[in-house]
Structure 1
């Protein structure tokens, strides 16, 4: 009789299994960012309809997007993933576009953080700018992540050796563990559920077609 060892659970953000590949870790971060975008989209819809003008939850969502996306996820891609594929000479145009979109995304998130910091705005123009910026980020980043998942991430395994993949994975695991030791960041991660509750997106049954 052959005994099959149980698979090690992949773990949550900051508690990644040694079996979790670098691209799987990045994919899960994409999913975390997607949850934030779904919440932001819902909050923006309420703002556009004049139902809720309290911008503090949107500010918290943008701050978490900055910490997870701009300062962590995008940096890992730029430092560990993109260069390995660039050395192959493949996907040069795509990589230039992805880098440009990272820069645009960072600028958008920073502007949203500035506009929402006070919890409200003084003019309709500022409110319209917030709506426009958030929606432009969401449209861009959903396409961006989908292309990375289906084209760029698989390409990594064509050009990187097993040792290089393992080294990238070890670096990424260490960074996530370090982030989770930062209490401020830990609190921000814990606030995701609260953000979704305010946005009305915590119950996924609401998205089931009637």
Structure 2
């Protein structure tokens, strides 16, 4: 009886140790699964990445519209805010976003013989956009900014008139067609390359840091609150 009791006690002890280990491991495993789930949720597809960058472009267009309104109405306008906006266009839209399109998207469509006329038009507009940004920067940096009001309004209007349909056509035609011409594995790899390039150029804050800079300009112009755009 003593030997049998000893064996039972040993079995119970081992079972308790195993159960205890399970209680320790399970929460850790559960937490790890949550982290993995969160990491997966943070993944952004190439199309979503490009389209949210268009959101930055559109918000700067709203800044430009406000600037044009103020110049036309002879209201105060700090040209430094235009310089900041143009710098965001130059570094985030032209040197990053458009380079992604030129290096990763356009060549694939050209190779596939798909949407080639659209790609040609988009590439031409990229070149034109950079020239317009140069002019905007030059006027904003001028000591006599107010004297260039007419030219400023004209150039900003050209920028807006070109980029609104440009972004809309990419969002509704080019980007949706991308997944049809590249394999799923390549599409996913493209998204990772986009993310790496974003953090390489703009640091850990990446896209969110850019949005924060845009918001600061909007606040300075008193156009940050979305409700201001609601008709009375």
Fold similarity call, TM over 0.5: yes
> Structure 1 pair 149/88, CA: closer, same or farther in 2 (3 Å)?
same
Name whichever of 111-120 and 199-208 sits farther off: 111-120
- 1:39–1:196: 8 Å Cα contact kept in structure 2? yes
Match of 1:70 in 2: 94
Match of 2:83 in 1: 59
Match of 1:176 in 2: 198
- 1:132 Cα offset (Å): 0.9
> Structure 1 pair 189/204, CA: closer, same or farther in 2 (3 Å)?
closer
- 2:56–2:211: 8 Å Cα contact kept in structure 1? no
2:163 to 131, 136, 141: 141
2:220 to 184, 198, 203: 198
- 1:189 Cα offset (Å): 5.3
- 1:181 Cα offset (Å): 2.0
**Cα distance in 1 for residues equivalent to 2:70 and 2:39:** 38
Task: Please list the CA deviations of residues 128-151 of structure 1 after superposition, one character each: whole Å capped at 9, or x if unmatched.
Answer: 111111111111111001000110
- 1:188 Cα offset (Å): 6.2
Query: Residues 20-169 of structure 1: matches in 2 within 5 Å?
Result: 20-118=44-142, 120-121=144-145, 123=147, 126-169=148-191
> What is the TM-score when the length of structure 1 is the normalising length?
0.85
- 1:198 Cα offset (Å): 2.2
> Structure 1 pair 145/188, CA: closer, same or farther in 2 (3 Å)?
closer
Task: Please list the CA deviations of residues 83-124 of structure 1 after superposition, one character each: whole Å capped at 9, or x if unmatched.
Answer: 11111111111111000011111110111011112464263x
> What is the TM-score when the length of structure 2 is the normalising length?
0.77
**Cα distance in 2 for residues equivalent to 1:179 and 1:101:** 23
Q: Which is greater in Rg?
A: 2
CA root-mean-square deviation: 2.5
**Cα distance in 1 for residues equivalent to 2:209 and 2:120:** 34
- 1:70 Cα offset (Å): 0.8
**Cα distance in 1 for residues equivalent to 2:132 and 2:218:** 21
**Cα distance in 2 for residues equivalent to 1:180 and 1:119:** 30
**Cα distance in 2 for residues equivalent to 1:197 and 1:51:** 17
Figure out how many residues of one structure are paired with residues of the other and give that number. 197
**More relative contact order, 1 or 2 (CA 8 Å, 6+ apart):** 1
